[in-house]
Amino acid sequence: MTHTLIGYARCSTDKQDLAAQHDALLKLGVAADRIYTDKGLTGTNRDRPGLDQALAAVRSGDTLVVPKLDRLARSVPDARAIGDGLAARGVKLQLGASVHDPADPMGKLFFNILATFAEFEADLIKLRTREGMAVARAKGKLRGKKPKLSDRQQKELRRMYDTDDYSISDLAELFSISRPTVYRTLGRHAATAAAAACRRAHRPPGGPAWRPAPRGSSGNAFSCRRSKAAARVP
């Protein structure tokens, strides 16, 4: 019976190159037409077409070859699930030049350590990304996604909607936006109007502007939340 080597390579962004991983798999004996890849998908994402194809291609007695464990998975549960699934099917898992033996206690320990480091590195990447975004936001370089419609366009959309002469589909076509965007715009406008009305209703003559009551308290906070809910677009 012929035992086949099936290769898998992955990179997290479209700008990264798979050439180095591809060459490493070729040197490990994997045929070029037996290499499956995913580009632009992170290891924490379990839904990967290339990985699914590689797992479907292996048969009992075959070996799934990856350059490093972090190319296969970036979380301990995923790495274990994939490794256990392959072992149950009689498929070997090769990490670089080493073949993982799930029956060997030391091999199992080493596998878990590699999976833990892969997950730790993924968490560090997320942390650095969040910190970088926070710094950029503080410097005014990260302002979020630009609204599809200007404030004036949003008000005009609401005015046209209130005339009952235009359907949601009509508004979407006229403003060149999607139906969900129309609903979101109407919802934001209604919530803003309800909040303004609520503030006016709870402001005593000559007194300070109304402020929402703390969570857990009764009275104004509840009535305003109810007003906002009533203002939502059906």
Active site residues: 12
Query: How much is the CA Rg of the chain, to the nearest whole Å?
Result: 28
Q: Order of strands, edge to edge, in the sheet holding 92-95?
A: 35-39, 5-11, 63-66, 92-95, 98-100
- Cβ atoms of 120 and 76 within 8 Å: the answer is no
Residues 21 and 10: their CA atoms lie apart, in Å, by 8
Strand-pairing partners, residue 6, are 64
C-alpha distances out from residue 52 to 101, 116, 231, Å: 22, 23, 46
Residues 126 and 234: their CA atoms lie apart, in Å, by 38
- Cβ atoms of 49 and 38 within 8 Å: the answer is yes
Question: Per the structure block, which two tokens stand in for 149?
Answer: 């419609």
Q: How many residues does the chain have?
A: 234
Count of C-beta atoms within a 10 Å radius of residue 64:
26
